[in-house]
Structure 1
């Protein structure tokens, strides 16, 4: 449903007539991300126990995984947008520290990413995507490494654009520009929908796209920029666009 506007702020208009395609964030927009990540990490640890028990014991020790994560992030600042690279490096580092073969990191990552794709959608998402895709082309634009085209809902999407492929993460304009290019449209003909006010809403607007804020948690708009249209679930977008 459409959320009430803050009367003390201007509201960024949405030109529905201009919209030819929809760009959608994934994590915490189409599904809650942390339950998915926890399942993927549990699957990775299970693989470690079965394949490299020394690494499993090392990885499971208090503070080790977090320390490795911070080390890898600090050592590879140029790859901050590439969660696949960072996760693989983390697994390789743990394998090396435990005395196991770091070449097994690719196998471990495959276990992780396979489970990472097994998401539990918010209740309204599938029906909303079905309705939206009947009129508009849809592209997924995400900083994460989930690939929507490998999921059952992939049938609704024309393309999937992760930050890793774009070479930058949201809110950088390049990822939004590339999404519009892949659709063969001007940026203004694409409306981006996401849960993060800075990464999704402001990032898209600054790249020349229209934007709708999917505000499931009913959070306040805490930016000097005009408040965007808000929806509390994806069916709200269907109502705004008349589908």
Structure 2
């Protein structure tokens, strides 16, 4: 059971917790493809082939395991490899990635996200804890957070307990006094449990819980969690 009296800080996942991520990625990939069509048409044609694109991303993941927690660098270097294979200028990769990245920051919040952020940030120090590459300032939510801990900068991602402990340490709170909120049963909820935190699983899709150890609370909407706090 959730023990609200023991909560001194809250860590919060971003993608699919505060906004749906796949519509954002699909739109950003279309914007990238449109840009490539104008500036690197052979690469755009390559990007239009799902098998070729998967092969490029797989090769890049194998070639650069050091980038496995850096979504931005992996995508930028995948674009660079595609440009090279298409016989076009690999130096276009940085500009092409920025086109994608700018669009990736244009998110549409779930209806319950903003009221929950206002409530939580007024009562607890909030820390964004993510494996993704959202830029809170560009998204427009940085005012709610005391800190932002991401896998890209920390070097390991969720569900590794170390990144949860780093998030707790960012606001000088021991893990056992932190509530972590996130949508992923394994990366977020189980990861938080293994790090010694309280875990709130945001289960918007009514999915079955897949692990033996249960989260402290399961909610379908952030408003339900706000009511409990």
Instruction: Give the shorter-chain TM-score range.
Output: over 0.9
Report Cα offsets for 1:38-88 as digits up to 9, x if no partner.
011111111111211221122223522121111111222232211111101
Q: How does 1:90-105 map to 2 (within 5 A)?
A: 90-105=78-93
Out of 72, 76, 89, the residue aligned to residue 88 of structure 1 is 76
User: What is the aligned partner in structure 1 of residue 129 from structure 2?
Assistant: 141
CA offset at residue 235 of structure 1? Answer: 0.9
Contact 1:214 1:232 in 2 (8 A): yes
CA offset at residue 30 of structure 1? Answer: 0.8
User: What is the aligned partner in structure 2 of residue 186 from structure 1?
Assistant: 174
1:29 aligns with 2:31: no
Structure 2 CA distance for aligned equivalents of residues 61 and 187 of structure 1: 45
User: What is the aligned partner in structure 1 of residue 31 from structure 2?
Assistant: 43
User: What is the aligned partner in structure 1 of residue 201 from structure 2?
Assistant: 213
Tell me, which stretches of 5 or more residues in structure 1 are unaligned? 1-12
TM-score by length of 1: 0.90
User: What is the aligned partner in structure 1 of residue 112 from structure 2?
Assistant: 124
TM-score by length of 2: 0.95
Number of equivalenced pairs: 229
Out of 64, 67, 77, the residue aligned to residue 76 of structure 1 is 64
Instruction: Report the 3-state secondary structure (helix = DSSP H, G, I; strand = E; otherwise coil) of the residue aligned with 2:106.
Output: coil
Contact 1:147 1:160 in 2 (8 A): no
The CA RMSD over aligned residues, in Å, is 1.3
Name the structure, 1 or 2, with higher relative contact order (CA <8 Å, separation 6+): 1
1:201 aligns with 2:186: no
Out of 213, 219, 225, the residue aligned to residue 213 of structure 2 is 225
Tell me, which stretches of 5 or more residues in structure 2 are unaligned? none
1:176 aligns with 2:167: no
